[in-house]
Amino acid sequence: MHATAQAQPNIALVKYWGKRNAALNLPAAGSLSITLDALHTRTRVRFDDALADDDITLNGERDEAQTRKIGVFLDLFRARAGVAVRAHVESGNDFPTGAGLASSASGFAALAIAVDRALELHLDARELSMLARRGSGSAARSIFGGFVEMAAGTRDDGEDAFAIPLLGAGAWPLKVVVAITTRKRKAISSSAGMDHTRDTSPFYRDWIAGVPGDLDAARSAVSTRDFEKLAQVGEASCLAMHAVMMSARPGLIYWNTATVACIQCIRSLQADGTGVFFTIDAGPQVKAVCLPDDAARVADALRTVIGVEDVLVSGLGEGARIVEDAHACA
């Protein structure tokens, strides 16, 4: 009745921003991501007959809203197992939480894997991806390593909205340099930001309509290891997503001045022939995707940008998995 799992965040190169069904957390369009290896979530789950309520600790703290959300997520698994037993959940990240570093992706992926093992459900990866999606849309992708595609699906029950692995982490070992420009939590959650964008942006339909073409281009770039092509579609998808966010009323601006300075730094590196492109999520951090030999140069350059607090370098990593119980959380 207990298990510990580890998962890593993923970074979308073709972005997910919009839902077609909020109750089942179904995305309005597909997405394509890379799973990282240098940032980790570890989650320990122990079901306990003596508990009256779930007991949930995230990064050493208890939070009522998070406890409710995770309780609802655990109910999906309890229903599958036909049990009502409550759980102790301890989860920790070794990177800033809720700051645009995809902590909800690694968090719900790790939780899904740990709960599946603790309840001995033995669900397959597709089912785990669909269940992780219920916690957070991007978590469906962190079930897998390397390059991953998430399908929007068309079914009302969401049974065709899951991620699939496209290419293993070792098959095209790109690097990701993360420039951290603040450790503060973001003011507007992704879910709230997506709803607001759908409800108020005049460009929302065009944004969603453009995603399938970007997915085709990115999938083809991955299968042929065409970095230039991936760079073009990756930056275009990121900027289109931020454009639609900014066109909401009032506009959502997740960037700060250092975010823009990092983009400009990356543009000058590109002009000098460095293999790098940027992507930015619902937060001010900049992720620079690089050819392996160029990562050190990119990291050195981003460290000199005013407002950059820290720079992390990551390779591509594996999907969510069970780990030894001994050292539970970061």
- Residues in contact with ligand 2P0 by CB under 6 A are 12, 15-17, 25, 31, 104-105, 136-138, 190-191, 281-282
Instruction: Give me the least distance between CB of 297 and ligand 2P0, in Å please.
Output: 26
Beta bridge partners of 34: 11, 147
Instruction: Give me the least distance between CB of 222 and ligand 2P0, in Å please.
Output: 16
Candidates 112, 179, 160, 136; CA nearest to 33 is 136
Longest CA–CA span in the chain (Å) reads 63
Q: What is the C-alpha to C-alpha distance for residues 275 and 248, in angstroms, rounded to an integer?
A: 33
Q: Tell me whether residue 25 or residue 259 sits nearer to ligand 2P0 (CB atom).
A: 25
Instruction: Give me the least distance between CB of 301 and ligand 2P0, in Å please.
Output: 24
Instruction: Give me the least distance between CB of 49 and ligand 2P0, in Å please.
Output: 31
Instruction: Give me the least distance between CB of 271 and ligand 2P0, in Å please.
Output: 26
Structure tokens at 51: 């508990």
Strand 276-279 vs strand 41-48: parallel, antiparallel, or unpaired? unpaired
Q: Tell me whether residue 105 or residue 258 sits nearer to ligand 2P0 (CB atom).
A: 105
Residues across the chain: 330
Instruction: Give me the least distance between CB of 283 and ligand 2P0, in Å please.
Output: 8
| Radius of gyration of the CA atoms of the chain, in A | 19
Q: Tell me whether residue 25 or residue 93 sits nearer to ligand 2P0 (CB atom).
A: 25
Q: Tell me whether residue 3 or residue 26 sits nearer to ligand 2P0 (CB atom).
A: 26
User: What does the angle CA 313 – CA 38 – CA 17 come to, to the nearest 5 degrees?
Assistant: 90
User: What does the angle CA 198 – CA 202 – CA 204 come to, to the nearest 5 degrees?
Assistant: 40
Segment holding 63, helix H or strand E? none
In whole angstroms, what separates CA 89 from the centre of its chain?
21
Inter-residue contact 217 to 142 (CB < 8 Å)? no
Q: What is the C-alpha to C-alpha distance for residues 190 and 133, in angstroms, rounded to an integer?
A: 14
Q: Tell me whether residue 33 or residue 274 sits nearer to ligand 2P0 (CB atom).
A: 33
Instruction: Give me the least distance between CB of 17 and ligand 2P0, in Å please.
Output: 6
Instruction: Give me the least distance between CB of 232 and ligand 2P0, in Å please.
Output: 18
Q: Tell me whether residue 78 or residue 198 sits nearer to ligand 2P0 (CB atom).
A: 198
Segment holding 206, helix H or strand E? helix 204-223
User: What does the angle CA 299 – CA 303 – CA 306 come to, to the nearest 5 degrees?
Assistant: 145
Q: Tell me whether residue 233 or residue 282 sits nearer to ligand 2P0 (CB atom).
A: 282
Closest residue to ligand 2P0 using C-beta atoms: 137
Q: Tell me whether residue 12 or residue 119 sits nearer to ligand 2P0 (CB atom).
A: 12
Structure tokens at 288: 């620079």
Query: Which residue, chain included where needed, has tokens 């921003």?
Result: 17
